[in-house]
Amino acid sequence: MNAQRIARYAFSWIAAEVSTLSRYYDCMVQWRPRVEDKGQLLELIDSPKKVVATEFDEIKALGHQHQAILVLVNGNFNYDHDIQATLASLHSVLHRASRVVLVSYNSYLNWVYKAANWMGLRKDELPTTFITRGTLNTLARLSQFEVVRSRPTCVSPLRLKSLGNLLNRSAGVNPLSRLTSLAEVTVLRPQISSAQRPSLSIVVPTRNERGNIRAVLERIPDLGCSLEIIFVEGHSKDGTWEEIQRLIPEYQHRFPILAMQQTGIGKCDAVRLGFSQASGELLTILDADLTMPPELLGRFYDAYLSGLGDFVNGNRLTYPMEGKAMRFLNRLGNIFFAKALSAVLEAPLGDSLCGTKLVTNSAYKRMVHWRGDFGDFDPFGDFELLFPAATLGLGIIDIPIRYRDRTYGSTNISRFRHGFILLKMTAVGLFRVRLSPNPVNLQATGNLPQ
């Protein structure tokens, strides 16, 4: 057995897992590589820029240069005798958009490392610190971090023809892989509140909502920040576009109001168009049917300001709904798909289809990049926000709202047709987000061990 080729094969799977988010961040910084670390993992990671930092101030300086950085900590915590102090020091030099990526090696497999040393396949010191997922969660909370993603990787360090690839691909869905995988890739989000009140763009998709336009403009709350309202009208037949144009002069003294018409169709297309034209530091969606009360937008905004999450998602399924806001079968379907997606994405989703979501403009640009690689697959627009929010480690927090009945117009939802599409989207998440990615960069070189 060739130790170098085995190590490269194992690192290729770890690198593939890290690369699912690193390619969408501005810079990957490996912090204080251990003496035994020859740079193989950093070399294999896909990132626009990769550097090594040995001092905390270097990380802080890189954070000033780049909007979003990832700090890679490869195996250090397996030998660290005060992880809490290390995390606290890292927290002090990070910006809000940055993340820490921890590669921790399985403490339950110390006997494997000892055997590998004896066979000459490994020469490193044996790990001294016993790390579990629960321990990392606790240490993260004590150091003002949140664990936003944690995935086992590399169950087999040997290719074993095609069996090794199969075992490693299924690591993300195999319940035993937590105990048997060589490594766990954990993403930490620093919990940092905002000292300033960032500007907010509110995108309002509208189709046959003429009777609600005035109420939308009247009920937008004063959030103590710069606001921008963007109406995106989609082929209405009831005079919605004309009503928007008529009311803009009446309300534009309160905030800038933009209005545009879709050339495409559907809410997903409308949100994309609105977000692409938005100037706010934060972006949110408000459905023109007013089933989500505009007065509650302040709760989404405040949740972001407090640092509790960088992706704020509405939850309509906590409180009793008003009138006929949602039919019984629709409610059951929403509960089922919320639970299914929470399991698939390993993210706390109380409701996957609430129209109101809030995200930073800079994070949305990374989502657009992700979508370009992942594919244009979502007819609703919710999943192309939720999937990358979980994958990129943004940190999702739910805001429970009371869902209101419509006062004008009718819903465009088809229970059974759309239910089938939702089932398909859940399967997409399972097979394309949850399964471990193939290390295609290494396979292309033909440099995999047998």
What are the DSSP calls for 233-267, one per residue?
E-S-SSSHHHHHHHHHHHHTTTS-EEEEE-SS-HH
**CA-to-CA distance for 198 and 196, rounded, in angstroms?**
6
Tell me, yes or no, whether 62 and 205 share the same domain: no
Give residue 448's pLDDT. Answer: 40
> Which secondary structure element, helix H or strand E, spans residue 357, and what is its range?
strand 357-360
For residue 425, what is the enclosing H or E element? helix 415-429
- pLDDT attached to residue 417: 60
Comparison of pLDDT for 373 and 247, the residue scoring more: 247
In whole angstroms, give the CA distance from residue 204 to residue 248: 14
Is there a single domain that holds both residue 204 and residue 148? no
Report H helices in 23-132: 40-44, 56-65, 83-93, 110-118
Task: Work out the pLDDT band at 447, boundaries 50, 70, 90.
Answer: very low
Pair (98, 179) in one structural domain: yes
For residue 349, what is the domain's CATH number? 3.90.550.10
Residue-wise pLDDT for 167-200, tens only, equals 998 888 888 888 889 999 999 999 999 989 999 9
Say how many C-beta atoms besides its own lie within 10 A of residue 401's C-beta.
21
User: How large is the average pLDDT for residues 74-87?
Assistant: 96
pLDDT tens digits along 363-398: 999 999 999 888 877 777 788 999 999 999 999 999
Backbone angles phi, psi at 268, to 5 degrees: -55, -50
Q: Is residue 56 part of a domain?
A: yes
Decide if 377 is inside a domain: yes
Say if residues 236 and 209 touch (Cβ distance below 8 Å): yes
305 and 197 Cβ atoms separated by less than 8 Å: yes
65-70 mean pLDDT: 88
- Poorest-confidence range of 6-10, 74-78, 201-205, 367-371? 6-10
Q: Do 107 and 158 lie in a common domain?
A: yes
Question: Is residue 447 in a domain?
Answer: no
Give the Cα separation of 370 and 368 in Å (integer): 5
Same domain for 207 and 188? no
Contact present, 281 and 200 (Cβ < 8 Å): yes
316 and 249: one domain? yes
Residues in the chain, total: 450
Q: What is the mean pLDDT of residues 421-444?
A: 73
Residue 420 lies in a domain: no
The one-letter code for the residue type at 274 is G
- Per the listing, tokens 């006929």 go with 324
Residues with Cβ within 8 Å of residue 439, at least 6 apart in sequence: 12, 13, 15, 16, 44
Instruction: Please report the pLDDT score of residue 446 as a whole number.
Output: 37
Strand order in the sheet with 69-74: 50-53, 27-31, 69-74, 99-105, 183-190, 145-153
Q: Is residue 117 part of a domain?
A: yes
In a shared domain, residues 68 and 167: yes
Whether residues 185 and 216 fall in one domain: no
Shared domain for 320 and 217, answered yes or no, is yes
Residue 24: which residues within 8 A CB-CB, separation 6 or more?
366, 369, 370, 388, 392
Helix, strand or coil, per DSSP, at residue 193: coil
d(CA 118, CA 157): 17
Region 324-333 average pLDDT:
64
DSSP-derived letter for residue 106 is -
pLDDT, tens digit (0-9, with 9 covering 90-100), for 267-306: 999 999 999 999 999 999 999 999 899 999 999 999 999 9
Cβ atoms of 73 and 100 within 8 Å: the answer is: yes
User: Does residue 80 form part of some domain?
Assistant: yes
What is the pLDDT confidence band of residue 151, given thresholds at 50, 70 and 90? very high
CATH number of the domain that residue 133 is part of:
3.40.50.150
Please, which residues have CB within 8 angstroms of residue 290's CB and are 6 or more apart in sequence?
212, 215, 216, 219, 404, 406, 407
Same domain as 391, residue 298: yes
Residue 362 inside a domain? The answer is: yes
Structural domain harbouring 299: 200-413
Q: What is the total count of domains within the chain?
A: 2
Of 170, 192, 214, at which residue does a domain stop? Answer: 192
85-105: per-residue pLDDT in tens? Answer: 999 999 999 999 999 999 999
Higher per-residue pLDDT: 324 or 398: 398
Considering 157, 192, 227, which residue would you say is the last residue of a domain? 192
Q: Are residues 309 and 381 in the same domain?
A: yes
pTM of the predicted protein model: 0.89
Side-chain half-sphere CA neighbours of 163 within 13 A: 3
* Distance from C-alpha of 178 to C-alpha of 37, rounded to nearest angstrom: 24
DSSP state of 131: -
What pLDDT was estimated at residue 121? 66
pLDDT tens by residue, 32-62: 999 988 899 999 999 999 999 999 999 999 8
Q: Is residue 422 part of a domain?
A: no
- Co-location of 274 and 321 in the same domain: yes
